[in-house]
Amino acid sequence: MADLKALAEQLVNLTVKEVNELKSILKDEHGIEPAAAAVAVAAGPAAGGGEAAAAPEKTEFNIELTSAGANKLKVVKEVKELLGLGLKEAKDLVDAAPSVLKEGVAKDEAEKIKAQLEATGAQVELK
């Protein structure tokens, strides 16, 4: 029984990246579809208590550029303007994708920046 409690605690404390890796393992190696895994993982935090329930109401986000897409030059220019960087620094950030462009950004500003970057063809995630 103690092993199950330890496993439950580990599941509740998984990061988003770890949940995605778990989802891939369950699908590829065990044939469990992602929807079923998402339901199982989503049920975990609900049983975890109030702390886990507050997590979805995140107010600060990190803006991560996952890919520049086909129009890299436009993305570099947009990153340069949005972050107030020089051309070389902006290009280095875009070339290093996936890379965090900005940390601790308010939700409204993060969504605005994400929309601007996606309009240039970039793939962006808020974490």
How is the chain split into domains, by residue range?
2-54, 60-126
pLDDT value at position 35? 59
Fold of the domain spanning 60-126: Ribosomal Protein L30; Chain: A, (3.30.1390)
pTM of the model: 0.53
pLDDT, tens only, 6-44: 888 888 887 878 877 888 888 788 777 755 444 555 555
* Contacts within 8 Å (CB) and 24+ apart, 71-79: 71/120, 71/121, 74/120, 74/121, 75/117, 75/120, 75/121, 75/122, 77/120, 78/116, 78/117, 78/120, 78/122, 79/117
Residue 73 dihedral angles phi and psi, to the nearest 5°: -60, -45
pLDDT, tens only, 108-117: 888 998 999 9
Q: Which amino acid is at 7?
A: L
